[in-house]
């Protein structure tokens, strides 16, 4: 088991899960070592089944049925199992050899049994294992062509009754229900494999409907039923490819499934996956039905999606544009989608016209899709710099944010007209500051813009004249500390004062950072003795905060 090392466990799990896994070593029970795998039960919030694959093609891997593990993560329970196995290195080779020997012995024993003995053994297992009995009953019904019996068994398998309390399957029972429902998929696949594909088509469609009804009453947080829905979709496609059903009938069913939201998207069937089964006749029917549905409801999501898929499959850009153009979003996003489709089709002039139309028709330039503005400005960069500046200017006037200011600066800089544009932009931001209009992070955007321009003196004055945010003052102090250490010192001390009345490691880190800046200001001012007195007094008052004291010691404060 060369892949099973402590280093690999830590790499796969990450430091946090690895350390947490160490705490579960006493919770690992029933370890079974096989040839290239190890299984066990780990008792956490619940009992979880864990399996490590040690010699797989991708190296060490693992599966656990805890919620974190079901998301595909290498969890703490897998770490606990791996560390448990590593703690017994002397027994691993012996256990692996014993596992191989057991498998060979079992195969040899079964091979030596007579038919009657095998039947007796199988009947014994059927009597003890309900799941095995159900699987074999389905196979028997399929083999004798008893469609009614197969349908009845599939209905039983998809019935939530045995797992539901008060009509609902709780999270703890969802996997057991999913395991039972998965047998229905296997039965349908067996029908197709035995030459009964036409019957499989009938049953898989019924199973889709039953599963869609069941999912409304199951806590499927881990997505088990979603996977079964995907498996049913695959089973339906396999059955259709084997049975070659009537293309027109199949097209009508696929259109109804796509447009009617029969199963809430649980099976996620794409009609274009059936193109080889539908042939030209079926595809023509599918297109006709899709167009009729779309013309009846041009804003319907399902109708638009099906039309888009068909148009893309046919490489029909004009049809695709017509679908998008029938439902244009007011923020210009749909215009951008159309422009990009036209670019892909190498029709750049039409793409530009659609993008410009999107900005022109936007109901609110402040809410326009910024990606559309970026697209147009990129197009203008080649030979229409003045248009790029005008668009950035209008966009900035509509939404006076730091980012819009930065975009205007970049465009005006490329057009060599930033000084005049800057004056106009700052005038708007000064008016906003006088009205106490704040930016996204608090405080006037004017201060942020001036800081971004590295105009520290103007930013300091703007902050003093308006209701600047503490974060803006901190940035100002950091940028001004070399040239204006006394002013910066006042800011740092003001920001530090409220932190001394709070607790918590995050607070202590902020306070120590400010103290380091305060010390730097005193050094620049030649008043380090004053800082020493300040810190001594602070330590006296804060001495009960041991984590703060340790952090201050670490930084020689």
Distance from C-alpha of 491 to C-alpha of 484, rounded to nearest angstrom: 11
Give the model confidence (pLDDT) of 514-538 as tens digits: 999 999 999 999 999 999 999 999 9
**With 0-12 CB in 10 A as exposed, 13-18 as middle and 19+ as buried, what is 57?**
exposed
Distance from C-alpha of 390 to C-alpha of 396, rounded to nearest angstrom: 10
Give the model confidence (pLDDT) of 224-270 as tens digits: 888 898 889 999 999 999 999 999 999 999 999 888 866 566 777 88
Query: What integer is the mean pLDDT of 433-441?
Result: 69
pLDDT in the model for residue 324: 93
Give the model confidence (pLDDT) of 179-224 as tens digits: 888 888 888 888 888 888 999 999 999 999 999 899 889 998 878 8
pLDDT in the model for residue 171: 84
Distance from C-alpha of 427 to C-alpha of 396, rounded to nearest angstrom: 12
Give the model confidence (pLDDT) of 15-74 as tens digits: 888 998 988 888 888 888 887 788 888 987 678 889 988 776 667 888 888 878 877 788
**Which residues share a beta bridge with 48?**
42
Does residue 505 register a pLDDT over 60? yes
Residue 481 near residue 459 (C-beta atoms within 8 A): no
Distance from C-alpha of 258 to C-alpha of 271, rounded to nearest angstrom: 8
Q: What is the mean pLDDT of the chain?
A: 88
More confident residue, 500 or 2: 500
Query: What integer is the mean pLDDT of 269-273?
Result: 89
Give the model confidence (pLDDT) of 139-189 as tens digits: 777 667 678 888 888 898 899 988 888 889 988 888 888 888 888 888 888
Q: How confident is the model at residue 2 (pLDDT cuts 50, 70, 90)?
A: low
More confident residue, 97 or 433: 433
Distance from C-alpha of 251 to C-alpha of 304, rounded to nearest angstrom: 17
Burial readout 263-289 (b: 16 or more C-beta within 10 A, e: otherwise) = beebbebebebbeebbeeebbebbbeb
DSSP string computed for 251-296: HHHHHHHHHHTTTTTSS---GGGGHHHHHHHHHHHHHHHHHHHHHH
Distance from C-alpha of 107 to C-alpha of 95, rounded to nearest angstrom: 18
Distance from C-alpha of 309 to C-alpha of 307, rounded to nearest angstrom: 5
């Amino acid at each position: 088991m060369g892949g099973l090392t402590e280093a690999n466990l830590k790499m796969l799990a990450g430091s946090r899960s690895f350390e947490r896994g160490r705490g579960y070593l006493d919770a690992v029970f029933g370890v079974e070592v096989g040839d290239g795998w190890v299984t066990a039960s780990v008792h956490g919030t619940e009992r979880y089944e864990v399996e490590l694959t040690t010699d797989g093609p991708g190296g060490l891997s693992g599966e656990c049925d805890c919620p974190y593990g079901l998301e595909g993560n290498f969890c703490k329970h897998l770490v606990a199992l791996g560390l448990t196995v590593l703690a017994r290195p002397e027994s691993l080779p012996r256990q692996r050899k014993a596992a191989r020997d057991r498998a060979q012995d079992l195969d040899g024993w079964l091979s030596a049994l007579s038919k009657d003995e095998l039947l007796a053994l199988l009947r014994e297992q059927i009597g003890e294992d309900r799941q095995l009995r159900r699987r074999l009953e389905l196979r028997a019904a399929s083999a004798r062509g008893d469609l009614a019996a197969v349908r009845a068994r599939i209905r039983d398998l998809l019935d939530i009754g045995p797992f539901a309390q008060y009509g609902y399957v709780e999270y703890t029972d969802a996997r057991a229900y999913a395991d039972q429902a998965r047998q229905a998929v296997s039965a349908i696949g067996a029908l197709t494999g035995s030459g009964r594909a036409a019957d499989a088509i009938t049953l898989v469609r019924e199973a889709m409907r039953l599963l869609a009804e069941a999912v409304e009453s199951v806590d499927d947080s881990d997505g088990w039923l979603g996977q079964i829905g995907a498996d049913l979709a695959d089973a339906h496609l396999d059955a259709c490819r084997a049975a070659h059903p009537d293309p027109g009938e199949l097209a009508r069913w696929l259109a109804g499934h796509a447009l009617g939201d029969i199963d809430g998207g649980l099976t996620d069937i794409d009609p274009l996956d059936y193109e080889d089964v539908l042939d030209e006749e079926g595809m023509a029917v599918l297109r006709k039905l899709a167009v009729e549905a779309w013309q009846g409801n041009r804003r319907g999501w399902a109708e638009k999606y099906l039309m888009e898929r068909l148009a893309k499959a046919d490489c029909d850009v004009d049809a695709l544009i017509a679908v998008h153009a029938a439902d244009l979003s007011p923020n210009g996003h749909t215009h951008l989608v159309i422009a990009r489709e036209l670019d892909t089709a190498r029709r750049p002039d039409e793409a530009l016209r659609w993008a410009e139309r999107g900005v022109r028709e936007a109901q609110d330039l402040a809410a326009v899709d910024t990606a559309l503005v970026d697209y147009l400005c990129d197009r203008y960069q080649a030979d229409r710099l003045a248009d790029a500046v005008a668009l950035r200017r209008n966009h900035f006037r509509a939404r006076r944010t730091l980012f819009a200011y930065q975009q205007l600066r970049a465009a005006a800089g490329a057009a060599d007209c930033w000084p005049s544009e800057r004056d106009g932009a700052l005038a708007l931001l000064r008016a906003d500051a006088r009205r106490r209009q704040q930016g996204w992070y608090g405080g006037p955007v004017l201060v942020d813009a001036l800081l971004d321009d590295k105009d520290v003196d103007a930013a300091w004055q703007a902050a003093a004249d308006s209701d600047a945010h503490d974060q803006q003052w901190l940035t100002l102090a950091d940028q001004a500390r070399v040239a204006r250490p006394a002013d910066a010192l006042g800011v740092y001390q003001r920001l530090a004062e409220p932190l001394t009345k709070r607790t918590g490691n995050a607070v202590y880190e902020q306070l120590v950072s400010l103290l380091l800046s305060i010390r730097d200001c005193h050094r620049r001012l030649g008043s380090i003795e004053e800082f020493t007195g300040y810190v001594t007094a602070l330590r006296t008052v804060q001495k009960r905060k041991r984590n703060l004291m340790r952090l201050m010691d670490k930084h020689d404060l």
